[in-house]
A and B are shown apart, each in its own frame.
Chain A
Amino acid sequence: METPLTQHISFDRPCYNLRDYEKNGGYQALRKALSLSPESITNTVQASDLKGRGGAGFNTGMKWSFVPMNGHYPVKYLIANADEMEPGTFKDRMLMEGNPHQLIEGMIISAFAIQANISYIFLRWAYKKAGRLLTHAIEEAYAAGYLGKNILGTGYNLEMYLHTGVGRYICGEETALLNALEGKRATPRAKPPFPQVSGLFGKPTIVNNVETLCNIPHIINNGPDWFKSLGKGNDAGTKIYGVSGRVKRPGLWELPMGVSMRELIEDCAGGMANGYRFRGALPGGASTDFLVEEHLDIHLDYKSVAAAGSRLGTGTMIILDDHTCPVGFVHNLEHFFAQESCGWCTPCREGLPWTEKILLSIERGEGRPEDLQLLETHTRLLGPGNTFCALAPGAMEPLQSALKYFREDFEKHIDQKKCPWR
Chain B
Amino acid sequence: MIAQETLTPEEMAEIDHEIALVPMRRAAAIEALKIVQHHRGWISDDSLQAIAGYLEISPEELDSVATFYNLVFRRPVGRNIILLCDSISCYVMGYEKIYGQIRDRLGISFGQTTPDGRFTLLPNACLGTCDHAPALMINNELFRDLTEENLDEILDRYH
Contact of A318 among B83, B124, B130 (CB under 8 A): B130
Q: Mark B116-159, 1 if CB is under 8 A from A, else 0.
A: 00000000111111111100010011100000000000000000
In the bound complex, CA of A342 to CA of B69 (Å) = 10
Q: Mark B83-110, 1 if CB is under 8 A from A, else 0.
A: 1001111011100000000000000000
Contact of B91 among A92, A243, A316, A329 (CB under 8 A): A329
User: A244 to B89, Cβ gap below 8 A?
Assistant: yes
User: B128 to A93, Cβ gap below 8 A?
Assistant: yes
Q: Which residues of A contact B137 (CB under 8 A)?
A: 126
User: B126 to A85, Cβ gap below 8 A?
Assistant: yes
User: A166 to B70, Cβ gap below 8 A?
Assistant: yes
Q: Which residues of B contact A127 (CB under 8 A)?
A: 128
User: B133 to A126, Cβ gap below 8 A?
Assistant: no
Q: Which residues of B contact A251 (CB under 8 A)?
A: 131
Contact of B92 among A181, A252, A319, A339 (CB under 8 A): A319
User: A186 to B68, Cβ gap below 8 A?
Assistant: yes
User: B125 to A340, Cβ gap below 8 A?
Assistant: yes
A-B contact count (CB 8 A): 133
A182 within 8 A of B: yes
Of the listed stretches A139-147, A303-311, A320-328, chain B binds A320-328
In the bound complex, CA of A329 to CA of B69 (Å) = 25
Contact of A336 among B87, B131, B133, B140 (CB under 8 A): B87
B30 within 8 A of A: yes
In the bound complex, CA of A164 to CA of B31 (Å) = 9
User: B27 to A183, Cβ gap below 8 A?
Assistant: yes
A87 within 8 A of B: yes
User: A320 to B71, Cβ gap below 8 A?
Assistant: no
B33 within 8 A of A: yes
Contact of A90 among B69, B92, B128, B141 (CB under 8 A): B128
User: B92 to A320, Cβ gap below 8 A?
Assistant: yes
Q: Which residues of B contact A335 (CB under 8 A)?
A: 86
Nearest CB in chain A: distance from B38 CB, A: 11
B29 within 8 A of A: yes
Q: Which residues of B contact A286 (CB under 8 A)?
A: 87-88, 126
B4 within 8 A of A: no
B28 within 8 A of A: yes
User: A318 to B88, Cβ gap below 8 A?
Assistant: yes
In the bound complex, CA of A88 to CA of B86 (Å) = 11
User: B65 to A185, Cβ gap below 8 A?
Assistant: yes
Q: Which residues of A contact B125 (CB under 8 A)?
A: 85, 87, 167, 169, 336, 339-340
In the bound complex, CA of A89 to CA of B133 (Å) = 12
In the bound complex, CA of A254 to CA of B65 (Å) = 38
In the bound complex, CA of A153 to CA of B152 (Å) = 56
Nearest CB in chain A: distance from B4 CB, A: 24
A57 within 8 A of B: no
In the bound complex, CA of A88 to CA of B92 (Å) = 11
User: A166 to B130, Cβ gap below 8 A?
Assistant: no
**Closest A residue to B89 using CB positions:** A244
Contact of A85 among B21, B22, B27, B128 (CB under 8 A): B128
Q: Mark A236-258, 1 if CB is under 8 A from B, else 0.
A: 00000011111000111000000
User: A166 to B131, Cβ gap below 8 A?
Assistant: no
Max chain A Cβ within 10 angstroms of own Cβ: one of B33, B140, B141:
B140
Q: Which residues of B contact A319 (CB under 8 A)?
A: 92
Q: Which residues of A contact B126 (CB under 8 A)?
A: 85-89, 286, 336
Interface residues of chain A, those whose CB is within 8 Å of chain B, are: 84-90, 92-93, 124-129, 161, 164-169, 180-186, 201, 242-246, 250-252, 282, 286, 316, 318-321, 324, 328-329, 332-333, 335-336, 339-340, 342
12 chain-A/chain-B pairs, Cβ below 8 angstroms: A89-B126, A89-B128, A90-B128, A126-B124, A165-B30, A166-B30, A167-B69, A168-B70, A180-B30, A183-B27, A245-B89, A336-B125
Instruction: Known A-B contacts: A88-B126, A167-B125. Give 20 more (CB < 8 A).
Output: A85-B125, A87-B87, A87-B88, A87-B125, A90-B130, A93-B128, A126-B128, A127-B128, A166-B72, A181-B27, A182-B22, A182-B27, A184-B29, A246-B92, A252-B131, A286-B87, A286-B88, A318-B88, A336-B86, A336-B126
